[in-house]
Amino acid sequence: MRLERIANVADARKIAKRTIPGVLFDYIDGAADDEATMRANTVAFDEVVFRPRVGLDVREPDMTTTVLGAKLSMPLLLAPTGLAEVMHRDGAVGAARAAASRGTICVLSTVAGSPVEQVAPAAPGSVWFQLYAGGSRSEADKLLARAEAAGVSVLVVTMDTPTLGNRERDRRHGVTPPLRLDAHNAIHLGPQVLARPLWTYRMARHGVSTLRSAQDTPLLSAARSAVAGQWLKLSGRSVPDGPRTQGHGVLRMVSSPFTWADVEHLKARWSGKLVVKGVLRGDDARISVDLGADAVIISNHGGRQLDGAPATLSVLPEVADAVGDSAEVMLDGGVRRGTHVLKAVALGARAVFIGRPFLYGLATAGQLGVEHILDLFQSEITRDMILLGCQDLAELSPTWLRVPTR
């Protein structure tokens, strides 16, 4: 695939759809119930319009910023996402290296598919760790200790997953948590795998051998690798040489019922910076800050949890007001364009995260694909700032926008 032909995130999505098996594409692309919140996230950006300035000599606009003390080349980070390993063999390491190469940060998910000991050293200083509960506090503490030992200094606690959202696309593929993975599932998914020979080839070269058992054909193993092996491998217990799927097992998509008491516990336990992800209200943001969060991420999990939750941009002013200067406010969900990034920054976000866009890139061309997506954002933001008449990100404020009133 010639990356230069991918002109925007929507193109990357189309190519990803043609590259990976349907079950994986739908895992990335899908959301909860009717997927209304997922759509609303992007619509909210498009409904806000700019009030551009003319007559200014803007050249080489400055989009650098700092997030929790780290200097970033642009106000855009990679969100934590599960299963990066099965999209492309470059996996979470590739995503982290891409982020580092472009001067930004990647948040490693508890269920990404690669252990923090492998990912953090691959991109020193550019990896944060996202925590799911996945069991007891002592298990969480063990994960924290491992992240700390690997050199991670920022912990992201995801609060919006007390149970899993209703992802109907996954169910239609027979992927229902918890799924007992057996030969029947593998056979069911086999045709999808066969229909994506490039992906199957890459996976077969990279991952199947660790998952193959005596009775498996390579095809069954590839299917298993796709939907379970990597998923299962971490699922809250990311031990590098820990148990692998041995023929069949329970596919544990993670629910993570964190409470505020857990946040308090984690704050006491974690020596670095703490970020609370998944707030959608000013009062919850305030509680996070009062408990010691250094930043909050406004997020509805990309519409994958509660369908009917508000678009993240729509609650940004409320959260920014509630938090004031006491913490940094970030946002994710539906960011697909440089203009979206600038709108969020103008409304008070320090930076935004992208989830699906970088996974489309990863699925398409691994690390290079993620770098390409980051390059697209960077060049869009540059052009948009020039067109907007904005020399420096710090100039942006709500006065640069017209926000629809409802």
Ligand X SMILES: Cc1cc2nc3c(=O)[nH]c(=O)nc-3n(C[C@H](O)[C@H](O)[C@H](O)COP(=O)(O)O)c2cc1C
Supply the residues annotated as catalytic.
301
Which of 102, 169, 301, 350 binds ligand X (CB under 6 A)? It is 301
d(CA 310, CA 140): 29
CA distances from 198 to 19, 63, 170, 288 (A): 7, 37, 22, 45
> Does residue 274 belong to the site contacting ligand X (CB under 6 A)?
no
Which of 3, 28, 99, 276 binds ligand X (CB under 6 A)? It is 28
Shortest separation between residue 87's beta carbon and ligand X, angstroms? 9
| Torsion on CA atoms 257, 300, 70, 156, rounded to nearest 10 | 10
Contacts of 21 (CB under 8 A, 6+ apart): 189, 192, 193, 195, 196, 199, 226
Contacts of 137 (CB under 8 A, 6+ apart): 262, 265
For residue 249, give both structure tokens: 């097992």
| Nearer to ligand X (CB atom), residue 27 or residue 400 | 27
Which of 68, 92, 111, 154 binds ligand X (CB under 6 A)? It is 111
Which of 130, 200, 230, 235 binds ligand X (CB under 6 A)? It is 130
Shortest separation between residue 279's beta carbon and ligand X, angstroms? 12
Contacts of 13 (CB under 8 A, 6+ apart): 29, 356, 360
| Binding to ligand X in span 168-227, by CB under 6 A | none
- Site size for ligand X, by CB under 6 A? 24
Which of 277, 286, 343, 350 binds ligand X (CB under 6 A)? It is 277
Which of 48, 68, 123, 354 binds ligand X (CB under 6 A)? It is 354
Which of 21, 94, 338, 355 binds ligand X (CB under 6 A)? It is 355
Shortest separation between residue 319's beta carbon and ligand X, angstroms? 15
Which of 22, 61, 75, 82 binds ligand X (CB under 6 A)? It is 82
Which of 153, 221, 299, 314 binds ligand X (CB under 6 A)? It is 299
> Segment contacting ligand X (CB under 6 A): 64-72, 77-85, 177-185, 202-210?
77-85
| Nearer to ligand X (CB atom), residue 249 or residue 334 | 334
CA-nearest of 123, 134, 131, 71 to 92 is 123
| Nearer to ligand X (CB atom), residue 377 or residue 390 | 377
Shortest separation between residue 93's beta carbon and ligand X, angstroms? 16
Shortest separation between residue 217's beta carbon and ligand X, angstroms? 28
Closest residue to ligand X using C-beta atoms: 355
| Nearer to ligand X (CB atom), residue 82 or residue 361 | 82
| Nearer to ligand X (CB atom), residue 27 or residue 199 | 27
**8 A C-beta contact, residue 349 and residue 297:** no
Q: Which amino acid is located at 75 in the chain?
A: P
For residue 220, give both structure tokens: 């069954």
> Does residue 333 belong to the site contacting ligand X (CB under 6 A)?
yes
d(CA 161, CA 156): 13
Shortest separation between residue 156's beta carbon and ligand X, angstroms? 7
Shortest separation between residue 134's beta carbon and ligand X, angstroms? 11
> Does residue 158 belong to the site contacting ligand X (CB under 6 A)?
yes
Residues in touch with ligand X (CB under 6 A): 27-28, 41, 79-82, 109, 111, 130, 158, 277, 299, 301-302, 304, 332-335, 354-356, 359
